[in-house]
Chain A
Amino acid sequence: QKEVEQDPGPLSVPEGAIVSLNCTYSNSAFQYFMWYRQYSRKGPELLMYTYSSGNKEDGRFTAQVDKSSKYISLFIRDSQPSDSATYLCLLQGAQKLVFGQGTRLTINP
């Protein structure tokens, strides 16, 4: 079993929809949680960084962490075609650093 599981998709939704992207993990040593967006032929770009359970909001993006269930989510509200990209979760803790596989998202106009 992988330490971090992320559905690779692809996920295709209409413009304006709410998007939910998820990662589950098995190791409770992970205490720091990040979400990245990666456009084609570019490096990953940091979107959200959090280390506590609960929600953190930044514009149209909300990161949610549930440490008891070992589950993190990224919500995108009012999705736009420019949100079409691959989204990666990154979990860190206890000298470990593990990426999810990435979810490819397409927002259709």
Chain B
Amino acid sequence: DVKVTQSSRYLVKRTGEKVFLECVQDMDHENMFWYRQDPGLGLRLIYFSYDVKMKEKGDIPEGYSVSREKKERFSLILESASTNQTSMYLCASSVMSNSPLHFGNGTRLTVT
């Protein structure tokens, strides 16, 4: 079974802090994704990566950056956290294009 692990289930950070969300997958998948999920807005793609050191902007990249230095690890960075970034963050991976995504259990981030 594919395992996608997000380092924290719950995080509370202050406005202006730099926040790192970590995601690791154990199946040598090429593609990795970061989504945020908010009530009434569904899943929105922040960034994705098709290979090591490659990144592509999704639908809502503003205020975020990513890093993929190793194939198994994809990090989401909030450069200066703001209250409107309070959300559920979901990491996913897939073996190739058009393959199913496999999700982690999410990180519930609260910015106060």
Interface residue ranges, A against B (CB under 8 Å): 31-32, 34, 36, 41-46, 49, 51, 88, 90, 92-93, 95, 97, 99-102
Interface residues of A, dominant DSSP: strand
Binds A, one of B69-77, B78-86, B97-105: B97-105
Interface of B (DSSP majority class): strand
Residue B90 CB within 8 A of the other chain = yes
Q: In the complex, which residues of chain A have a beta carbon less than 8 angstroms from the beta carbon of B100? A: 34, 46, 49, 90
Bound-state CA distance A88–B43 (Å) is 10
For residue B97, which residues in chain A have a CB less than 8 angstroms away from its CB?
Answer: 92, 95
For B, the interface residue count at a CB cutoff of 8 angstroms equals 16
Binding site for A on B (CB under 8 A): 4, 42-43, 45, 90, 92, 97-98, 100-106, 108
Shortest Cβ distance from A100 into B: residue:
B42
Taking the nearest CB of chain B, how far is it from the CB of A21, in angstroms?
A: 15
- State how many angstroms separate the Cβ of A40 from the closest Cβ of chain B: 11
Q: Are A43 and B42 in contact (CB under 8 A)?
A: no
